[in-house]
Amino acid sequence: MSYQNQGGGYQYSNVPPVDQGGPPPADSPSNFQQNASSNSAGGNYQLPSYSDYAQNGSSYDFGSYGPNLGSVDWNLQRNQSKRNRMLVMIAVGFFILFVIGHPSSQPPTIVNGEEANKSMNGIAGDGHSSSTSASSHSNTSNQNPAQEISVEIEDAPTIEKDEVVFEKQADNPYKPTTPQDQQLIDKENAEIQQLEARLKISYLLSYPMSGTSFTMLLMSKTTNMTLATNYAQSAYATDEGKHVPVYKPDDVDANDEHVTIEGSPFWFTTYKSTTRPTKNVLTLSHCGGHCMYPCLPNEYVQTTMAFEEQCRTVIDHTIVDGKDEYVITVTPKKDVNNAIHLIRDPFSNVVSRFHAFLHESTEETLPNNKNGFKQWCQAMDNNEEVTAIEYMSSFFTMEMKEVMKKIPCHSEFYKYVAWHNHVAEMAWNEDYNVLPIFYEDYANTDEQRQMAINMAAFLEAPVVGGDETMPDFLKVRLYRDEYFTAEEIANIETFVRVVALKTTMQLLERYFKADSTGEGSDGLDNEA
């Protein structure tokens, strides 16, 4: 449709004049009667106008609601219809509000299971016969049938005498009323009190040869308390050679203290201390993963779960007919409270394990010095069976395997770092409160005293005496610069950082600082 301006207004070229306010021309297709023959004969054809369509023509009448209705009348009818619908909706809303706000004056009566039972047994709720009750209900129903509804429950359960009935009390919302249940509660309360009063285990977690003996002696003299150990071979023994367990069965004679119980550590005395603790007993445990060379990786590479159980493993040792016999049990987790984590410089710890190897071996002829240590490390690093297992194992990363080639006694340093990793993981998994203690701090008398006080507070044990009770500590042995070259020290540090967890590295960081060097010393040391 085109348009053009013709003297003051736009005139549409293909809209007939009749639609623009003028009469139709004679030859207009709007005049159907005049041009019927022309149109049928194929005369000129033009588009029909708006009024040519039947629904828009003025000669057609569809009634007051038809589509031909004028715009004003149509709007009036539409608005009236909307008003009618609104009035109906408002009326329905008021009716609903009226019903909600004006319920029946008397709520329906529901006959419960007990009343139903009485009704079935011929007894009404008031104690009279069911016929009387029924007649009264019938009269009530005749007066106002909408005010009471009787619901009959078939086979309603009845409460037996032996069942527990809970009555609401002011101090105890639900209190059992049967004697049998009260006995059960008394038994549970007694078990809870016994568990709370039961002595708890506080482990001294110590990698072998990191200062265990001195730490046990220090705590024994500081608190005057008897300590414990997981290993019967080093535990206190009576004149008859029997070990005394920390825990005993409840059904044994109280005077027979030598009866053992599975999973119970043994009493361990280092300083004439006979007073037994009442809350926490410091118990020595080396856990696992620290086998002495020669041993294969499958003996020291382990999961944290296996390591945690080995921390709770108790080894009883007896001699029967001249032969050693061992009984291995595990302390329940519920008896463990917390742990003290003893840490020693890794360089000195590995060298001290070499000393222990020489002490325990009956066939070894290595010299007890730096040269002997180097030979020990070379034998360890060149063991083809060990290196083959390490190379094929998925427990060692490629980065670890590459650095292992550059450090002496590589498996010993792996055991050291992995052991401390497991302690950190175990403490996290079991939510243990752990107190770290550093062996080198014993060298200072003031620090030694403060460490003893801190450990006693951690164990909730008293501090007995003053400085005179402190044991004499021989010089701390530092073997790093004496036994290792600068290149070896740097490579060992790299290896430790590769293997150690972030938490473990925070504890070991002090051993890789510039001021952590020290000279070796001749003579004895407290390294066991």
Return all residues near 498 (Cβ < 8 A) that are at least 6 apart: 397, 399, 400, 403
Please check the confidence at residue 5 and state whether its pLDDT lies above 80: no
Which segment, 6-20, 141-155, 476-490, is predicted with the most confidence on average?
476-490
- Asked if residue 460 has pLDDT above 90, the reply is yes
Question: pLDDT-derived band of residue 351, with 50, 70 and 90 as boundaries?
Answer: very high
- State percent of the chain over pLDDT 90: 40
| pLDDT tens readout for residues 144-192 | 444 444 445 445 455 454 444 444 444 554 556 677 777 777 766 665 5
Q: For 271-279, what is the mean pLDDT?
A: 79
Residue that wins the pLDDT comparison between 475 and 257: 475
Give the 3-state secondary structure of residue 65.
coil
For residue 332, is pLDDT > 50? Answer: yes
B/e letters for 50-73, b = 16+ CB within 10 Å, e = fewer, are eebeeeeeeeeeeeeeeeebeeee
User: Distance between CA atoms of 469 and 448, rounded to whole angstroms?
Assistant: 12
Per the CB < 8 A criterion, the answer to whether 116 and 153 are in contact is: yes
Higher per-residue confidence, 279 vs 149: 279
**How large is the average pLDDT for residues 126-151?**
46
Alpha-carbon distance of 50 to 255, in angstroms, equals 121
Is pLDDT at 233 greater than 90 in this prediction?
A: no
**Nearest-angstrom CA–CA distance, 147 and 109:** 8
> Residue 139 corresponds to which tokens in the numbers above?
């009269």
- The pLDDT value recorded for residue 87 is 85
Residue 469 has which token pair?
């009770």
Sign of the Cα pseudo-torsion (443, 449, 451, 452, in order): positive
Q: Report the range of poorest mean pLDDT among 166-180, 196-210, 301-315, 378-392.
A: 166-180
In this structure, the dihedral spanned by the alpha carbons of residues 400, 401, 402 and 403, taken in order and rounded to 10 degrees, is: 50
Q: Under DSSP, is residue 5 helix (H, G, I), strand (E, B) or coil?
A: strand
User: What's the pLDDT band for 287 if we cut at 50, 70, 90?
Assistant: very high
pTM of the model: 0.62
pLDDT(348) > 60: yes
- 3-state SS track over 246-302: CCCCCCCCCCCCCCCCCCCCEEECCCCCCECCCCEEEEEECCCCCCCCCCCHHHCCC
Torsions phi, psi of 254, nearest 5? -60, -25
| Rounded distance between C-alpha atoms, residue 26 and residue 408, angstroms | 121
The C-alpha angle 18, 22, 26, rounded to 5 degrees, equals: 70
Q: Which tokens is 254 given?
A: 């109280």
Please report which confidence band the pLDDT of residue 106 belongs to, taking 50, 70 and 90 as the band edges.
Answer: low
Say what the pLDDT of residue 500 is: 98
Per-residue pLDDT tens over the stretch 433-456? 999 999 999 988 889 999 999 999
What's the whole-number average pLDDT of the chain?
A: 75
* pLDDT band of 134, cuts 50, 70, 90: very low
Contacts of 162 (CB under 8 A, 6+ apart): 178, 180
pLDDT bin (cut points 50, 70, 90) of residue 77 is low
More confident residue, 32 or 441: 441
Q: Are 482 and 520 in contact (CB under 8 A)?
A: yes
Determine the average pLDDT of the residues in 104-121. 50
- Span 292-299, mean pLDDT? 90
Q: How much is the pLDDT for 169?
A: 45
Query: Cα(507)–Cα(510) distance, rounded to whole angstroms?
Result: 7
Mean pLDDT of 262-269: 85
Q: How crowded is residue 113: how many other Cβ atoms within 10 Å of its Cβ?
A: 13
pLDDT of residue 194: 53
* Domain residue spans of the chain: 3-56, 166-195, 198-516
- Measured between alpha carbons, how far is residue 172 from residues 166, 176, 182, 516 in Å? 10, 10, 14, 62
Q: 115-120: long-range contacts at Cβ-Cβ below 8 A with a sequence spacing of 24 or more?
A: 116/152, 116/153, 116/154, 116/156, 117/156, 117/158, 119/152
pLDDT: is 447 or 250 the higher one?
A: 447
Greater pLDDT, 447 or 62: 447
CB 205 within 8 A of CB 342: yes
Whether residue 70 has pLDDT greater than 90: no
Q: What angle do CA 262, 264, 266 make, to 5 degrees?
A: 130
Q: Is the pLDDT of residue 503 over 70?
A: yes
Lowest mean pLDDT among 103-107, 216-220, 341-345, 367-371: 103-107
pLDDT at 202: 97
Per-residue pLDDT, 84: 82
Residue scoring higher pLDDT (441 or 239): 441
CA contacts within 13 A on the Cβ side of 286 = 19
First-to-final CA distance of the chain: 109
How far is C-alpha 102 from the geometric centre of its chain's CA atoms? 54
Distance CA 282, CA 219 (A): 9
Higher model confidence: residue 104 or residue 384? Answer: 384
Q: For residue 212, give the H/E element and its range.
A: helix 212-223
- Alpha-carbon span 368 to 524, nearest angstrom: 13
Q: What is the pLDDT of residue 367?
A: 93
Overall average pLDDT of the 30-52 stretch: 44
Instruction: pLDDT band for 127, please (50, 70, 90 cuts).
Output: very low
pLDDT score for 251: 45
The whole-number pLDDT of residue 257 equals: 52
What is the rounded CA–CA span in Å between residue 318 and residue 216?
24
Q: Which residue matches tokens 């369509």?
A: 53
Reply yes or no on whether the pLDDT at 212 is more than 70: yes
- Residue of 376, 374, 344 lying closest to 357 (CA atoms): 376
CA–CA separation, 75 vs 309, rounded Å? 88
Quote the tokens at residue 425.
Answer: 């993981």
CATH for 198-516, among 3.40.1350, 2.60.40, 3.40.50, 3.30.1490? 3.40.50
